A and B are shown apart, each in its own frame.
Chain A
Amino acid sequence: MFAWVDRLLPYRELADMGIMGMNQRNISYISRYNSRQLYPLVDDKLRTKRLAIENGVATPKLLGTVDNQHDVMKVRDFISGLGGFCIKPAKGSSGKGILVVSRGGDGLLYRSNGQKLVLRDVERHVSNILAGLFSLGGAPDVAMIEALIEVDDALHDYTFEGVPDVRIIVFRGFPVMAMMRLSCGASKGKANLHQGAVGVGVDIVTGRAVRAVQQNRPVNIHPDTGQDLLSLKVPRWDTLLELSCACADMTGLGYLGVDLVLDREQGPMLLELNARPGLTIQIANGAGLLPRLRRIEEVPQVSHLGIADRIRFARRHFASMPLDEPDAMRRSA
């Protein structure tokens, strides 16, 4: 009798799959496992970087910072002679205010989406950052100038105009779910899913693609490069898993999104941490977060478990089911 209600609002179906909604994420995980006082560690990318360096975690090279309007002109010195660079607000959220610039063969500056820039544009961007345009609540901010990351050869064909990154959700130190974000033409070179980037669910066990989505809809080939997305296998997957756990350990946050990149020269590096990671990773993986999170909540003590133990636990319990066996996935939930 209420079938049409179920079809319209598939509450039970989503709950059976263990799909986590925004309200539940906020109440049951973020506010319960993430202590407020630790937020600045991840909300301020400069502090994250410092923390990473102390803990021996590799990060992209910091070329310089600008923390007051007077020093905006210094940007000129920081970037002279560089092939490319990236300017970020230290306290920006969800990718806001990140300007990726590369130098073309003609010596001019180009934004990652091909738009031509002059030095004044770059300086204006820096002064916008300083004034707090991109930070939460408009608080004054610091601009960071970082070296560009070179895309790893194995990933080159999977991305268009930008650097792909790996997002791993780490809960109580256990890697829970992972996805790779591939920039494409529609996302203007950004690896932000809500701007149209492709999200590829990655199996925790193997680092292989499970499923790919763009704008919440399943896709099989990269819209720009034509590459078969399901053939993707993330290189150096073990190292990436270990790195994500190490990042969670160094911050002390219980529910964390770790964004990692693979640099051609320097290997896996920490890009940024996120204390409020999004939910699209579930769509990319075709699986809900809740069964995995609850499985980890059942572990009474985690402090004595080393990184290797936790990864072994995750690999035993969180293997992705092949998509053609939907019932198996539901049973595992």
Chain B
Amino acid sequence: MSSRRTPFYLLVFLLVAAGSLLTWYRHAVFDVPWLPGEKRQIWSVEAKVDFMATGGPVKVSLAIPATQPGFEQIGEHTASPGYGLAFVDNVSGRRAEWSIRSASGSQTLYYQTEMLADPETLDDKVAVPPPLRQIVLVGPQATAARRVLQRATERSADPFTLARELIGEFNSGSESAQLLTQTKSRGAWLVDLLHMAGVPAREVHALNLEDGRRRQSAVNLLQVFDAESYALFDIRSGVQGQQPTQLLWEYSSSPLLDIVGGDNSRISFSMIEQDVPVSRMLEAGTLSLSQKVLDFSIHSLPLSEQALFKGILLIPVGVLIVSLFRILVGVRTSGTFMPVLIAIAFIQTSLVTGLVGFLLIVGVGLMIRSYLSRLNLLLVARISAVIISVIIIIAAFAVLSFQLGLAEGLKITIFPMVILAWTIERMSILWEEEGPKEVLVQGGGSLLVALLAWLAMSNDVVRHLTFNFLGLQFVFMALVLLLGNYTGYRLLEFRRFRPLLKAQG
């Protein structure tokens, strides 16, 4: 029997060895620390430009960021097969300019930059005010603009309060302000009005940095200059100040993207937060090519995919926990891997919101399902009805919580709805067949395992390890294989078989 098992243990050993070796290699050669902490935060931001080339020569000019207060640029690169590339730095700011003699069809260009979060960084260009412009207005617009400016000036003391009052003017929806926004955007008017008042200002494009986000777009901010400093304003809300996670992408009053020879252009941003030790950061770029080839990590992928993998690589942890609990403990769950999906939803919603949302949806769903069971429907139709009910419940809760001012409630939409519908269906059958006790046992078991999976998957150390050490996946694989070979008792079987021991006295 043992000889039959030898290849199996050999496989497990190989997996563990390969996994450990890769992990050690990442640690030793790339200096990735075992634990998060003792490191600097680096934001990798990727801009992806999509457009349809019309067949002729193409010129693409993309605004790109530079070192600025709060962020130090430590690297940038592009991916654009076949295109000529130049970084230019002129009056319209830093720009990446791609060019090609002829191109047709769908084109994609990438630009990626690494920004080191550093509150100490100071910079030059961002703080240089644009030259004041002479604004000439005629007709009713001139009157309206003057009226808006006058009102705001009366209620303000300096350039910053003037900007805030101007935004307030637009928000109040006065007739004059409405007349103005019919011809130009609010941002453009704010800049013009400030220039009329002799205050240098411009519109800038910024990104809200959030780890693992994909397909984000830039937000417009208003930059207003005082004699020696500047302030940023949200054009919609008038909120003043730059958040530490706001990266200015373009600040030269130029368009974000300019394409000649293409149409249907779109720009989207992906971003990811990396915690890199200071030592490695200093050595960045000194690694030889051969080492790069052996860099068995997903850090060579485009950022948007990396962001995706950051979540995907956590799934094995959840799966491992489910296996542990089913095989070693004997917890019954409804649907084998449903707890992992619930845990993933919890990660995105935060725990309390997730738990409350889950219980609400399943609870209300069970009530609706008990009514549906009286309608004598075919199974497929009934489950479809449950799915639709779940969506209606989710929509209702989202609207309700928003009206009550609980923005958290909006996150309820993250739950996997089809899975929830099946959970409700199974639980309701369980209720009819075995009674509410079994529903509690299995529902409680699923929630317990989901909670523990959530604990593990949201742990900083676990996230750090799974994302940085791909080799660990082999170790997880080996562990799961070993678990699949465990013939001992499950923890709950001790309780189950205890009466047998009593029988023996």
Is the pairing of A and B real? yes
Q: Are B500 and A286 in contact (CB under 8 A)?
A: yes
B375-425, CB < 8 A from A? 376, 378-380
A207-231, CB < 8 A from B? 211, 213, 216-218
Report Cα–Cα, A27/B380, bound state, in Å: 35
Shortest Cβ distance from residue A91 to the other chain B in the assembled complex, whole angstroms: 14
Q: Are A128 and B494 in contact (CB under 8 A)?
A: no
Shortest Cβ distance from residue A118 to the other chain B in the assembled complex, whole angstroms: 11
Chain A contacts for B493, CB-based, 8 A:
14, 21-22
Other-chain contact of B488, A8, A21, A128 (Cβ < 8 Å): A21
Chain A contacts for B376, CB-based, 8 A:
120, 124
- Range of interface residues on B (Cβ < 8 Å): 20 to 34
B452-505, CB < 8 A from A? 485-491, 493-494, 496-501, 503-505
Shortest Cβ distance from residue A69 to the other chain B in the assembled complex, whole angstroms: 7
Measured CB to CB, the nearest residue on chain A to B425 is: A133
Knowing A14-B494, A28-B487, say if A22 contacts B500 (CB, 8 Å): no
Report Cα–Cα, A128/B425, bound state, in Å: 12
Chain A contacts for B487, CB-based, 8 A:
21, 23-24, 27-28
Chain A contacts for B486, CB-based, 8 A:
23, 27
Is there a chain B Cβ closer than 8 Å to A195's Cβ? yes
Shortest Cβ distance from residue B292 to the other chain A in the assembled complex, whole angstroms: 44
Q: Are B379 and A132 in contact (CB under 8 A)?
A: yes
Is there a chain A Cβ closer than 8 Å to B368's Cβ? no
In the complex, per-residue mask of A195-214: 1 if CB is within 8 Å of any chain B CB, else 0: 10000000000000001010
Shortest Cβ distance from residue B451 to the other chain A in the assembled complex, whole angstroms: 23
Is there a chain A Cβ closer than 8 Å to B120's Cβ? no
Chain B contacts for A132, CB-based, 8 A:
379
Interface of B is mostly: helix
Is there a chain B Cβ closer than 8 Å to A283's Cβ? yes
Chain B contacts for A138, CB-based, 8 A:
379
Measured CB to CB, the nearest residue on chain B to A69 is: B378
Is there a chain A Cβ closer than 8 Å to B448's Cβ? no
Measured CB to CB, the nearest residue on chain A to B327 is: A23
Is there a chain B Cβ closer than 8 Å to A127's Cβ? yes
Knowing A218-B499, A286-B500, say if A22 contacts B488 (CB, 8 Å): no
Knowing A23-B486, A24-B487, A27-B485, say if A216 contacts B499 (CB, 8 Å): yes
Is there a chain B Cβ closer than 8 Å to A323's Cβ? yes
Knowing A131-B380, A132-B379, A326-B505, say if A14 contacts B499 (CB, 8 Å): no
Other-chain contact of B501, A14, A120, A131 (Cβ < 8 Å): A14
Q: Are B379 and A323 in contact (CB under 8 A)?
A: no
Measured CB to CB, the nearest residue on chain B to A216 is: B499
A10-30, CB < 8 A from B? 10-11, 13-14, 17, 19, 21-24, 27-28
Chain B contacts for A127, CB-based, 8 A:
378-379
Report Cα–Cα, A225/B216, bound state, in Å: 71
A79-137, CB < 8 A from B? 96, 120, 124, 127-128, 131-133
Chain B contacts for A9, CB-based, 8 A:
491, 494
Give me the interface of B with A, judged by CB distance under 8 Å: 327, 330, 376, 378-380, 429, 433-434, 485-491, 493-494, 496-501, 503-505
Give me the interface of A with B, judged by CB distance under 8 Å: 8-11, 13-14, 17, 19, 21-24, 27-28, 69, 96, 120, 124, 127-128, 131-133, 138, 194-195, 211, 213, 216-218, 282-283, 286, 288, 323, 326, 329-330
7 interchain pairs, CB-CB under 8 A: A19-B489, A19-B500, A23-B327, A69-B378, A96-B433, A128-B379, A131-B379
CB-based closest 9 A-B pairs: A131-B379, A24-B487, A21-B489, A326-B504, A286-B503, A124-B376, A21-B493, A27-B487, A23-B487
